[in-house]
Structure 1
Amino acid sequence: MSIPDSHPSIHEHKGKTCPVTGQGHAFCAPQQGDSRSPCPALNTMANHGYIARDGKNISAQDVTRGLKECYGLSSPLAYFLAYVGFMIIRKFGRTNLFDIGKHGAVEHNASLVHHDTPEGHTCAPIDIDSKLVEDLCADVKPGPKECEKDGKSWLMNYEDVARARIRREKEAGPIDSVHAEIARGEMAIILGVWETKTKDKAGIPMEYLKRWISEERMPDGWRPDHVQGLMDVVKRAKGIKKAVEQLRKDEAAAAAASSSETEKGKGKE
């Protein structure tokens, strides 16, 4: 049976070159047989040809180079993320993206847009849940000026990320301290990649985030305009942690106040 002219081209990816988009970094969705992980950062790099587009036979050096070119990470930061990540999943040569999703290594439960790894499975699901994406977007609370604009112009900041982390850990259960640090670091990096400042708020455009986390695609025409280092990520991760702690304190205080009011009401009966 012939394929209609309107049908998207079906092709094979080999190396960084795509037979449809060529040798550049234009987006191309994964094709049948391509390997992908639960990590939007790595999948996006493959979809844009910063690492092998089929997501296979990838080395830590390939990931290091891709992180620098795609996101503007410094050499020490990119090297640290790639080589430490490979050590954690016990890969000392080349690997496929799917293997990076080994459950309990770098990957963790309570992902912002993926379901937890089913019991008995070795690797986490790579399918993106559109409902979780919408829930993540709903966690972003715009400032007064942002409310006057289209929702796509809203910015996500530390507190918004903290709100999303608290919600997901309520839904999926808490994660250990090491993976909590990894989860904060993941978002700290992307907060630094696209940080935008206005008079009312500093954060990343939701238009960028939603495309990246749900389509695993970079903003059209965007290229890194600064270098982000390890200490930049550490600082932002601490900001997210502090915001999580404050929101949890606020929730506990609100719950205590509500309980007190309830008890007072019972005493008047």
Structure 2
Amino acid sequence: MKITILVVAGLVGLVAAGTCPFGHGKGKGTEPKGFEYHAPGPEDRRSPCIGLNNLANHGFLPRSGKDITIDQVRFAVSRGFNYEPSTFDFAFNQAVDFKLTTTGNPQTFHLDDLKAHDEIEFDGSLSRDDFYFGDQLHFSPKIWAGVAKNLGLDKMGPGKMDRYVTVETAAKARAARVAEAKARNPAFNASAAEVQGSPGTLGLLLVTLWDDEVGAVRKDFIKSWVEEERIPFIEGFGPTRTRNGTDISEMFERILAVKV
């Protein structure tokens, strides 16, 4: 996944800069009216990219996962994740330029169009198996179990930081997953897509769920995000400031700076 594409794949004007769309605070919250979580039906399409699936499962993107437009992406990431609406325009345009769409309209795509190997999708995903093993589209409990263990998601000690994942912990868990994939997959492809997409996808997750006060991400937010593909509104998610491409780029560099 290329660095610009991974931004779209991990997630996309109605929210003014500096505002939180739904006003959630530190405690428990509620799902925004009209954007409640619903698991996808058998005819709904989803991608290998968790953020986009989250948006579709809440209706910020079409719940069908079909015929996604740039305006829908702008609406979704601004209303759902509190990013500046145009943050991912360039990424959307690149996705279209890759000619992956099967919609019949070159300016739209279905979510499962993004599964094309080594374009959007890449080896060493945090939650999907590699293309070599036959299913790079769907969530893999086995793959995620190893990542979750390295993130310490089930270790909730008495200290405040025991409930959070730091950049260092996340970066080391990502590196361990890539090392495992390289050792297990004889066709592992360490292409530019993987080299940028692996830390980039992690960076996008961290930025989207980031707690500015603590300087880390809540473990329960990550579990909801990945395991249910549900935005953790109920748990209290709601960034207090608007995110943008600079936040993502800075997090990407922080992840790469961690010695693993």
| TM-score category of the 2 structures, normalised to the smaller one | 0.7 to 0.9
Offset from partner CA, 1:157-181 (integer Å, 9 cap, x none): 2212221221122121262234321
Alpha-carbon distance in structure 2 between the residues aligned to 1:29 and 1:150: 32
Q: How does 1:170-181 map to 2 (within 5 A)?
A: 170-173=179-182, 175-181=190-196
Normalised to the residue count of structure 2, the TM-score between the two structures is 0.74
For the residues of structure 2 that align with 1:154 and 1:241, how far apart are their CA atoms? 23
1:64 matched to which residue of 2?
74
1:108 aligns with 2:122: yes
Structure whose CA Rg is larger: 1
| Alignment correspondent of 2:28 | none
1:73-130 alpha-carbon deviations (Å, 9 max, x no partner): 11332223322233235443222111111111111011011101137x7xx5332122
**Alignment deviations for residues 178-230 of structure 1 (CA, whole Å, 9 cap, x no partner):** 432122222212212222256xx621101001111111001134334321111
Kindly indicate whether the alpha-carbon contact (under 8 Å) linking 2:46 and 2:65 is maintained by their aligned counterparts in 1.
yes
- More displaced, 186-195 or 28-37? 186-195
Q: Is the 8 A contact 1:89 1:102 kept in 2?
A: no
TM-score (norm 1): 0.72
Aligned match of 1:76 = 86
CA contact (8 A) 1:74 1:228 kept: yes
Structure 1 position 55, deviation (Å): 0.4
* Aligned equivalents of 1:178, 1:128: Cα separation in 2: 20
Distance 1:88 1:242 in 2: 30
**For the Cα contact (< 8 Å) 1:89–1:100, is it kept in 2?**
no
Please state if 1:86 is matched with 2:96.
yes
**Are the counterparts in 1 of residues 128 and 138 from structure 2 also a CA contact under 8 Å?**
yes
Q: Tell whether the 8 Å contact from 1:139 to 1:164 is kept in structure 2 after alignment.
A: yes
**1:150 CA drift (Å):** 8.8
- Structure with the largest fraction of helix: 1
Q: How does 1:172-251 map to 2 (within 5 A)?
A: 172-173=181-182, 175-196=190-211, 202-221=215-234, 222-243=237-258, 246-247=259-260
Amino acid paired to 2:225: W
- The 2-side partners of 1:215 and 1:141 are apart by 18
**Secondary structure in structure 1 of the residue aligned to 2:94:** helix
1:77 alignment partner, SS class: coil
Shift in CA distance, 66/171, structure 1 to aligned 2, threshold 3 Å: same
Q: Flag the structure with more relative contact order, 1 or 2, with Cα contacts below 8 A and sequence separation at least 6.
A: 2
Flag structure 2 segments of 5+ consecutive residues without an equivalent: 1-30, 183-187
Q: Deviations over 1:236-258 (max 9, x none)?
A: 00000111xx22xxxxxxxxxxx
Separation in 1, partners of 2:249, 2:150? 23
Count of matched residue positions in the alignment of Structure 1 and Structure 2: 216
Distance 1:178 1:38, change over 3 A: closer
Tell me the residue number matched to 2:158: 148
Aligned identity (percent) is 21
**Cross-structure match for 2:56:** 46
User: CA 1:59–1:136 in structure 2 vs 1: closer, same or farther (change >3 Å)?
Assistant: same
Q: Which structure 1 residue ranges, 5 or more long, are not aligned?
A: 1-20, 248-269
CA contact under 8 A between 2:118 and 2:193: conserved in structure 1? no
Q: Distance in 2 between matches of 1:188 and 1:216?
A: 17
Query: Would the alpha carbon gap of residues 97 and 242 (structure 1) be closer, same or farther in structure 2, given more than 3 Å must change?
Result: same
Match of 2:41 among 25, 31, 48: 31
Read off the aligned partner of 1:191 and give its amino acid letter. L
The RMSD of aligned alpha carbons is 2.6
